Structure 1
């Protein structure tokens, strides 16, 4: 594990994944972490003459992603872990899978939200979908 992609949404579960990597980094000098925050692609419906423009909504989504990633990056950088942040728009799982390849990551480490079995069965969790769609090992941290 040298290049790890961490889907980061600012949740406690995502922070647990970062702290797990902080502990691992002591035994893995040179660990590199790519924090990825994926926001849904904003869309406008109807005739918005005086309302927000699509560009404004996209900028706001990316700014929100930057703020979330900044918090995660601060945790990692405080422990001298090389960190890059990436703010993306689109389907969360698809963008994570693309990012794994684009940034040449060998592992995905992510938190779980503790969905119950029924929720997981009906909706599927992001973690479950990531496990099935990325071409590298996925480390799930409780």
Structure 2
């Protein structure tokens, strides 16, 4: 585990994934982390949104993603772990899968909310969809 992708949404479980990497860095000084926050693009129905309005919504979403990622970057930086922040618009699993390939990540480390078996079966969780979507190992931190 040298080049890691961390999907980060600011949740307690995502923060535990960052803490796991901070703890792991003591025995892995060459660790490099890519922190990604994916924001869903706004959906407009009908002709109620102009191009400039859509651009403003997208820019605000990316700004919000950057603010969320800043917390993870600060924690990693305080531990002297090399990291890069990535903010994107799209569908979470698709963007995480593409980012893992784009940045040459050998592992994805992410939190999980511990959804019940029935809820996971019916709805599917982002974590389980990432496990099945990416071609590299996924470490889930509870």
Aligned to 1:123: 123
**Aligned match of 1:98:** 98
Greater displacement, 113-122 / 9-18: 113-122
Matched ranges for 1:14-25 at <5 A? 14-25=14-25
Q: CA deviation at 1:47?
A: 3.1
CA RMSD of aligned residues (A): 1.3
Name structure 1 gaps, 5 residues minimum. none
SS of aligned partner of 2:46: coil
Matching residue of 2:55: 55
TM-score normalised according to structure 1 size? 0.95
Tell me how far apart the structure 2 counterparts of residues 105 and 38 of structure 1 sit (CA, whole Å): 17
Alpha-carbon deviations, 1:29-61, whole Å to 9, x = none? 1100000000111222223378x7101110111
For 1:137, the equivalent position in structure 2 comes to: 137
Deviating 4+ runs (over 3 angstroms): none
Residue matched to 2:32: 32
Separation of aligned partners in 2, 1:92 and 1:47: 26
Unaligned runs of 5+ in 2: none
Deviation, structure 1 residue 93: 0.2
Question: How many corresponding residue pairs?
Answer: 141
- TM-score, structure 2 normalization: 0.95
Q: How far apart are the structure 2 equivalents of 1:122 and 1:49?
A: 34
* Shift of residue 135, structure 1, vs aligned partner: 0.5
The answer (yes or no) to whether the contact 1:43–1:54 under 8 Å persists in 2 is: no
- 1: CA distance, partners of 2:34 / 2:124: 24
d(CA) in 2 for partners of 1:79 and 1:44?
Answer: 42
